[in-house]
Amino acid sequence: MGALSKTVQPQTAGPIYTGVDQHHDFSKYGGVHRLSSGSFLRSVLAVQPRSFSPQSFIYWLVLGIVLFAVLYPAGVIILSSFETPGEKLVSGIGLQAWKIAFADPAIISAIWNTLTITLARQAIALPIAILLSWILARTDVPGANALEFLFWLGYFLPPLPVTMGWILLLDPDYGLLNQWLTHLPFVNKAPFNIYSFWGIVWAHLTTSTIAVEVMLLTPAFRNMDATLEEASLVSGAGVIRTIKKIVVPLMTPIVGVVLLLGIVHSLQAFELELILGFPFRFYVFSTQIHWLLNQQPPQFAAATALGSTILFLMVPLIALQRRGVARRSFATVGGRYKGQKQSLRKWRWLIFVILLAVALLITVIPLLFLTVASFMARFGYFSVPKPWTALHWSRVIDDSVFLDSLKNTLVLAGATALVSVVLFTLIAYIVIRTNFVGRAALDMVSWLPSTLPGIILGLGLLSVFLGTPFLRSLYGSMFLLIIATVISSMTLGVQVIKGALGQLAVELEEAAKVAGGSGWNSFRDIVLPIIAPSMLLVGTLSFIAAARNVSTVALISTSRTRPLSLLQLDFLVESRYESAAVIGIIVVMLTTGVALISRLLGLRTGMER
Amino acid sequence: MYESTSRRIVPFVVILLIGAARAECQEWKTKWDKVLADGKKEGKVAVAGPPGTAYREVMRGFEKKYPEIALEFQSFTPSNFTARFSKERQAGQYLWDIYVTGPTGFDISAKKAGDLDPIRPLFILPEVLDEKAWFGGFDKAFLDSEKKYIFAFQAQITPQVLINREFVSEKDLNSIKGLLDPKWKGKIAINDPRVDGAGNGRIALWAGQMGEEFVRALLKQDLTLTRDDRQLADWLARGKFPIAIGVNDTDVAELQKLGVGAKVEPLGGKLAEAWRLSTGWGAARLVNKAPHVNAATVYVNWLLSKEGQSAWATTVSRPSRRIDVPRVAGMSPEPGIDYFDIDREERVPLRDKAQEISKSVLR
């Protein structure tokens, strides 16, 4: 196996994640810029001795836009954490907000709880997601495409009604599953308790964590060269060992990115913790932020101090991840690419059943919860005289702002998806495929939006939109909402496309250039078709993120630009969760339509073609 | 002599009074007509209001009555509005006219910062200014100590504690003081009193009426916290926690309509410590430098009129402070009873104290 490992080691030593590998001739750019996080500042400040070209203009323009759109609000947020609140909004500068934020004795346990729950979530979800993705993308398991789509669907479902569904099943006092199980002769008390550490972990795993990780990893696995696995299997390594020794190392960058994204999302998760954690006084970092924002008057400065802490904590991890992937090439799609799938032989149907069971657990059951919730007089009360009703549907559809909100959502989510695909592809291309002097800065900065909780990012954007004269005139318009949702989706989108580009060996584009094609031609004819599935995935993810966004959008929308997510918020505030579930279903239907189209397009292009 | 003089004076006085009344009538009418005409010229009014579909629907009545004035109504949670309002002010943007929401910390800080203008001068219609039309009188509807900035037009009585009698009999518990019995440890759930809201209001009332010691002892009864109204109502109705403090009675009423929690009832009978007077989301303020002050005047007069308040009471199902509009069963205050109103500005220290105690006990 040792010998085998050597044979399948990535063939290039160049740091493909900085766009550099040994096959590429960089002499015309004035030498190789091998960048790591350490050279981040130098890369930004370095003077680039090169002549002006349309490409470099675009690169600088993209860098300028991203720096302005991300660093400006992030800077405002950090600065506002040092503001001292007073009678006239801000009375001075100091550390008072930080003291308030960290003076609460609950903050220590909140940090500890956040770390342990993040660790538990990722320790369980990531190995499962890697295995599931590999099976879906690299084996001949029946119905792989349909199963993969079920995981997509799982991610689209709104978490709150799904969590209510799990409460209905797993509440220690009245949970249906617990009640059924206690009828068994050897079960004396309710075996499950949703209001517990593991209850929260379970709810996270089944609402989104596994689904999104499968969603992100499967396209990357699909782009893996089959010859590497074949070599391993032929040498008798077995499936699990092949995954461990071949697949995982080759997938390191994307797995690292998925892990990092998972950590960031775990740090920000708060809805489930608020519902399931509060009853047993289980607080996490984000519930502390929520708590500060719900003080009267709201403690914005202290909340931004906590929000900034996540940012400061994540920056070294992001740098570490960049450094890790910068040392090697992870290109798996080269001139000799072979997309053949591994045969599962006699295990094929058994694995299919297992996969189906997982998909049912994280998609079909929650979808059932959601649908049932939308048709019940009150979700969970099956024994009342008239448990079923269509009232919630008519309440939503007859609402005077429903149609306008639907239209706004379509415009917002559709435009966000389009802008995201174009902008994030450009960013990823610049980072991976060029030696542009600001690419490390671009890469680092694209991570920042995800490190800030939605409402904190919303506060920063609000300051930017109001504080910038040329944007102020657009305040209240749909344009600013689109900018906000694009920024919110940036990290995930850029990382997904970066992952796909990183797997693509530079030799393919070089071949096109050797054959006389221009840079644009090689991008259009070689790169674009291969990364198209990832671009479409990004479009879909940006669509759903924009359609569901509440925290950022609530701060900058107006009565004319109000999307469905704010109508849903109205219902949630009124405790009309059933009506909110109806909106959840409508958003899922819209996104599923977009996802189906993008998958049809994606499967016709890319490595499946 | 006197008789003949009085015979001559009385008609004179009557004529004078009629004249004065007519002049007064003429005065408000003239003022109203001018404001209405100017409001129509302004063409719109920007109102920030509470979240919830019902509140938005109430406002449709204004659009129908005054189609020439476009109503830009936007829902906000209090913290979202505070954030947006403060950032807009920092940028010199003055976009809002009227802010309708419950009493929050925003009121105190905005008043101190000069971000509110007196709303009282906006009231023109006689039916709005009618002393007899309001529960406890017109002045009592102002929550601020100056009686001119924050007008609470909703007055709802809410029980401090709801109890599910299916699980706890009247014999076992029939008073608020009885909650301190150790046998109720672990059986009480509360809307988190450490933040502004229903739970904090309850604790503040008891801190004022029954003393700090009672509050501390109660908070030590192993209370289960939630910030989700629906969860609290479900727990109570299902008996998971048969005693609930700060539960939203509308949620319970919805459950009872379905036949669930039929035996849920207020604890403590008619005693003062068992009920509070609540403003809910129903209080209006005039934001300073309002861009459409005439349209805002038309809007406020409509909102506080019999028509506006009837729409509020029937659409939102929350009782108005006006006593000449439809009552909301079980929520409208009874005349002659002096309820403890925790929402008044002078009671802010009590609310702060309640939060402080809650934070120190419920870690």
Q: What is the dihedral of CA B255, B257, B260, B263, to 10 degrees?
A: 100
Contacts of B52 in chain A (CB under 8 A): 570, 573-574
Note the pLDDT of residue B163. 97
Instruction: Determine the Cα–Cα distance for residues B144 and B140; give it in Å rounded to an integer.
Output: 10
Q: Let me know: does A273 contact A199? Beta carbons within 8 Å.
A: no
Could you tell me which residues are beta bridge partners of residue A89? A86
Say if residue A44's pLDDT is above 50: no
Residues 11-70 of A with CB under 8 A from B: none
Residues B311-322 pLDDT 10s: 999 999 999 999
Residues B192-230 pLDDT 10s: 999 888 999 999 999 999 999 999 999 999 999 998 899
Note the pLDDT of residue A34. 37
- In order, the DSSP letters of A267-320 are HH--HHIIIIIGGGT---HHHHHHHHHTSSS--HHHHHHHHHHHHHHHHHHHHH
Q: How confident is the model at residue B177 (pLDDT cuts 50, 70, 90)?
A: very high
Which residue bears the tokens 């519930």?
A: A287
CB contact under 8 A, B106 and A296: yes
A interface test, pick of B53, B190, B316, B350 with most A CB neighbours within 10 Å: B53
Say if residue A203's pLDDT is above 90: yes
Q: What is the mean pLDDT of chain B?
A: 92
Q: Let me know: does B318 contact B277? Beta carbons within 8 Å.
A: no
Instruction: Determine the Cα–Cα distance for residues A294 and A289; give it in Å rounded to an integer.
Output: 9
Task: Tell me whether A474 touches chain B (CB under 8 Å).
Answer: no
Residues A395-409 pLDDT 10s: 999 998 999 999 999
The encoded tokens of residue B140 equal 């009592």
Amino acid at A70: V
Nearest CA in chain B to A299: B79
B interface test, pick of A77, A401, A463, A575 with most B CB neighbours within 10 Å: A575
Q: Let me know: does A431 contact A39? Beta carbons within 8 Å.
A: no
CB contact under 8 A, A274 and B86: no
The encoded tokens of residue A208 equal 């989104």
Say if residue A2's pLDDT is above 50: no
CA distances from A344 to A127, A348, A369, A603 (A): 19, 5, 34, 22
Q: How confident is the model at residue A602 (pLDDT cuts 50, 70, 90)?
A: low
- Please choose, from the candidates B83, B72, B76, the residue with its C-alpha nearest in 3D space to the C-alpha of residue B50: B76
Q: How confident is the model at residue A43 (pLDDT cuts 50, 70, 90)?
A: very low
Around Cβ A34, how many Cβ atoms within 10 Å?
13
Q: How confident is the model at residue B21 (pLDDT cuts 50, 70, 90)?
A: low
Say if residue A40's pLDDT is above 60: no
Residues A486-499 pLDDT 10s: 999 999 999 889 88
Q: How confident is the model at residue A291 (pLDDT cuts 50, 70, 90)?
A: confident
Q: How confident is the model over A113-119, as a mean pLDDT?
A: 93
Q: How far is CA A177 from the centre of its chain?
A: 32
Sign of CA dihedral A556, A558, A562, A566: positive
Spell out the alpha helix ranges (H) of A174-284. 176-182, 197-204, 210-222, 226-234, 239-242, 248-250, 252-268, 271-272
Provide ipTM, 2 decimals.
Answer: 0.86
Say if residue A424's pLDDT is above 90: yes
Task: Tell me whether A466 touches chain B (CB under 8 Å).
Answer: yes
Note the pLDDT of residue A7. 31
Say if residue A328's pLDDT is above 60: no
Q: Let me know: does B244 contact B262? Beta carbons within 8 Å.
A: no
Residues A216-232 pLDDT 10s: 899 888 877 777 777 77
CA distances from A349 to A151, A211, A527, B351 (A): 19, 21, 35, 64
Q: What is the mean pLDDT of chain A?
A: 82
CB contact under 8 A, A462 and B84: yes
Note the pLDDT of residue A6. 34
Q: How confident is the model over A521-536, as a mean pLDDT?
A: 82
Q: Helix (H, G, I), strand (E, B), or coil: what is residue B146?
A: coil
- In order, the DSSP letters of A107-160 are HHHHHHHHHHHHHHHHHHHHHHHHHHHHHHHHB--TTHHHHHHHHHHHHHS-HH
Question: Phi, psi (5° rounding) for residue B159?
Answer: -70, 145
Residues B25-64 pLDDT 10s: 678 999 999 999 999 999 999 999 998 899 999 999 999 9
Say if residue A330's pLDDT is above 70: no
Say which DSSP state B154 is in. Answer: B
Amino acid at B75: S
Say if residue A32's pLDDT is above 60: no
Say if residue A8's pLDDT is above 80: no
Q: How much of chain A, in percent, has pLDDT values that exceed 70?
A: 85
Q: How confident is the model over A332-346, as a mean pLDDT?
A: 68
Q: How far is CA A194 from the centre of its chain?
A: 25
Say if residue A365's pLDDT is above 80: yes
Give A118→chain B minimum CA distance, Å.
23
